[in-house]
Amino acid sequence: MSKKKSVLVILMAIFSLNAFAQKADAILGSWANENGQDHILIYKRGDKFFGKLDWIKVPNDENGKPKTDKNNPDPALRTRPDLGLELLKDFNFDGDNVYSGGTVYDPKNGKTYSCKMTLDGNILKIRGYIGISLFGRSVTWTRVK
């Protein structure tokens, strides 16, 4: 292969990887859950994607204290505040707007599920499941503008 062709192949590979990374990062930002009561900030750590509660419409309980992770199966974690709680962990971008390999934590029941997310413009479809995706539940989040 000539030197010019080699350089061209390398440049094309770099541009392809850059386009892939930009497409993967389209999920970054704040997302409202289905009822709009919570906002989840999706961010990147290394090459994986995570999400944490960054806004709660009603952040305090009836006693005026910040809501906590009271349903966590680990008693030592039940006093940690809901605000800032990491709900999404370890997602990989698979291409075609799909993110998989991660987990979603549901603070309402204290359980963690395998999860797959699909980005469709300003809509994020989240499928939490146990074992196989057939046995699970789907929710839709909307991008916060």
User: With bands split at pLDDT 50, 70 and 90, how would you rate the model's confidence at 38?
Assistant: very high
Q: Look at residue 22 in the predicted model and tell me its pLDDT.
A: 59
Q: Report pTM.
A: 0.82
Q: Is the pLDDT of residue 13 over 60?
A: no
Q: Look at residue 17 in the predicted model and tell me its pLDDT.
A: 43
Q: Look at residue 45 in the predicted model and tell me its pLDDT.
A: 97
| Mean pLDDT computed over every residue of the chain | 89
DSSP of 78-116, one letter per residue? TTSBSTT-EEEEEEEEEETTEEEEEEEEETTTTEEEEEE
- Give me the CATH code for the 27-143 domain, please: 2.40.128.520
Q: Look at residue 134 in the predicted model and tell me its pLDDT.
A: 79
Q: Look at residue 4 in the predicted model and tell me its pLDDT.
A: 66
User: With bands split at pLDDT 50, 70 and 90, how would you rate the model's confidence at 116?
Assistant: very high
Q: Look at residue 5 in the predicted model and tell me its pLDDT.
A: 63
Instruction: Evaluate whether 66 touches 58 at the Cβ level (below 8 Å).
Output: no
- Looking at per-residue confidence, does 10 or 62 come out higher? 62
pLDDT tens across 68-82, in order?
999 999 999 999 999
Contacts of 5 (CB under 8 A, 6+ apart): none
Please list the residues that pair with 104 across neighbouring strands.
Answer: 88, 113
Q: Look at residue 25 in the predicted model and tell me its pLDDT.
A: 97
